[in-house]
Amino acid sequence: MTLAEEIILLLEQQAVTQGFTCVKQLWLEIGDLAGVDAEALDFCPETIKLDTLAADARVHIRHQPGQGHCPRCEQTLIVHSRLDACPQCGHYPLQIQGGDAMRVCELEVE
């Protein structure tokens, strides 16, 4: 699936549950560990081709840092990659707790 297809899928689900027909603005939260090419989006979010539901929507991107937990030193840390080891004790792997997903966090609809 392309990123645009994923977004449309998320929007279609929300359109059904919330009963709207047109999205005017859209805020996406993209975790740094989500494997989504958010850099490309930052340059020109409007190039995401959305279907009629959100054809004229403005897309805003929010980044969410990756969050991990080290089971050895019981610390929650910012993780830049799934391959990161704990900076304190070198433990690997860390338990990923956040920043590994993409979600629609806010919508302005009609």
Q: Which stretch binds Zn ion (CB under 5 A): 18-26, 39-47, 52-60, 91-99?
A: 91-99
Give the phi and the psi of residue 16 in degrees, each rounded to 5: -70, -50
Among 9, 73, 101, 105, binds Zn ion (CB under 5 A): 73
Instruction: Specify the stretch interacting with Zn ion by CB under 5 A; choose among 4-12, 19-27, 34-42, 63-71.
Output: 63-71
**What are the backbone angles phi and psi of residue 54, rounded to the nearest 5°?**
-135, 35
Q: How many residues lie near Zn ion (CB under 5 A)?
A: 7
Measuring CA to CA, which residue among 70, 65, 75 is closest to residue 101?
Answer: 65
In contact, 26 and 11? CB cutoff 8 Å: yes
Spatial contact of 106 and 95, defined as CB atoms under 8 Å apart? no
Q: If binding is defined by CB under 5 A, does position 89 make contact with Zn ion?
A: yes
CB atoms within 10 A of CB 71: 11
77 binds Zn ion (CB under 5 A): no
Contact pattern from residue 23 through residue 62 relative to Zn ion, giving x for each residue in contact according to CB under 5 A and a dash for the rest = ----------------------------------------
CA distance 77 to 100: 14
Task: Check residue 70 for interaction with Zn ion (CB under 5 A).
Answer: yes
Complex with Zn ion: residue 33 or 70, whichever CB lies closer: 70
